[in-house]
Amino acid sequence: MMMGGHIERSGFQQQWKGADMPETPPSTTSGHTRGNSSPSGTYAYGVPGKAAEWDAHAWTGVVHDEAGGQPAIGTWHRHPLGVVKRLWFWLFVVGLPLTIIPAYISSTQNNIALAARFGFVGYSLELAAGVLLISGQERTRQVAHLWQLVAVGLGSGVVSSVAATAIEMHEPASIGLWLSGPIEETLKLLVPFALLVFGGVRFRDPRAGLLMVMLSGAVFGFTEVYGALGEARGYEIFVIAVARSFGEWFHILLTGFAAAVIWLAAWRAGRAWTYAGGVAWVIIMAVHSLNDGINGLIGGTSKADLNPDLTTWAQAWPRVWQEFLTAVITVVVLYFLCRYSARELVPPNAIEGNAPGWRPRLKRWGVR
């Protein structure tokens, strides 16, 4: 609910965000922007008695006492079967058997070909589901220049994958796992961050940054799956399919957490580098390195040469359950971590339809 008002920007902010940036992204059908975006103003955001300023692209971090002291956001009601209405759910449901079943057959035949062919579609659908799980809450379809952002995000994923492979192929596996955080997280952010600095306002919108980085992570995860499959033999093929069907959401959720902080803080501060963004970057590097390093020590699927050979199903099934449970726990934890920052980008017109956990808390990242 809009409370009225107009957001004023300083000359410095106008230079960063574009002096000619419209207060409201235009609603068109030209493919450059999407309609139904929230205009600048002051809106209730779900905290009783409070309203906050939105500048047509992001929350400014300025909070006001709302007249009357009553929440303007309606009560959210959980729908037990609400998930079946989500596109991400059906993409995952279709993608899962396309990875699991061919991998099972390939394992019994010790032939990677079937798993690779069907997995190309299956893993693509599963990773797209991971992006939509977050972007659907953000209403990123409303962001200007959507398809250009999608192209940049996908291209960034290719660049980061090639660069990471070139760097990591020369490292001993036992050391490389612990260095994967700084290498891979920096590379996934590299192209989008360069555009944040040099690319103009369309790449500085916080939701645009989050989308580009999540897509970069999705492509990185896709190439990582095929790298693991290329090294796998026998029953290891099935272990990888089970673990990575949603385990590769790791790259979407972890880097997405940092992207939301980096882009929101930069938008508010009027500069690319901020203290909050730097802290978020350090966090994801550390989490990534700990995850890969510990998994390597206990025999995870990150590097085939750290895994024992699996020659029978009796050996494979304990590994299947180990990898499955590890992936579930990791993805659930990272989902909540990503939500912690990504909910700060949720626009006013999405708040009432979102669960309370997906409503902004107005963190002051980048507020001076």
User: Domain residues of the chain, as ranges?
Assistant: 2-69, 127-358
CA distances 266 to 201, 269, 271, Å, are 12, 5, 5
CA distances 40 to 19, 144, 167, 271, 321, Å, are 16, 15, 45, 21, 50
Sign of CA dihedral 266, 271, 275, 279: positive
* Strand, helix or coil for residue 126: helix
- Closest among 281, 227, 222 to 249, alpha carbons compared: 222
Contact 184, 72 (CB under 8 A): no
Angle at CA of residue 181, ends 175 and 184, nearest 5°: 105
How far, in Å, CA of 342 to CA of 169, rounded?
Answer: 33
- Closest among 360, 343, 330 to 136, alpha carbons compared: 343
Q: Record the pTM.
A: 0.89
Contact 103, 237 (CB under 8 A): yes
Please give the chain's pLDDT, 368 residues, in tens.
444 444 445 444 556 666 445 444 444 333 333 445 789 999 988 888 889 999 999 999 999 886 544 456 767 777 777 888 899 999 999 999 999 999 999 998 888 889 999 999 999 999 999 999 999 999 999 999 999 999 999 999 999 999 999 998 887 766 778 999 999 999 999 999 999 999 988 999 999 999 999 999 999 999 999 988 888 888 889 999 998 998 999 999 999 999 999 999 999 999 999 999 999 999 999 999 999 888 877 764 444 333 456 677 888 888 889 889 999 999 999 999 999 999 999 999 999 889 999 999 999 999 88
- Closest among 52, 292, 74 to 174, alpha carbons compared: 292
Contact 301, 240 (CB under 8 A): yes
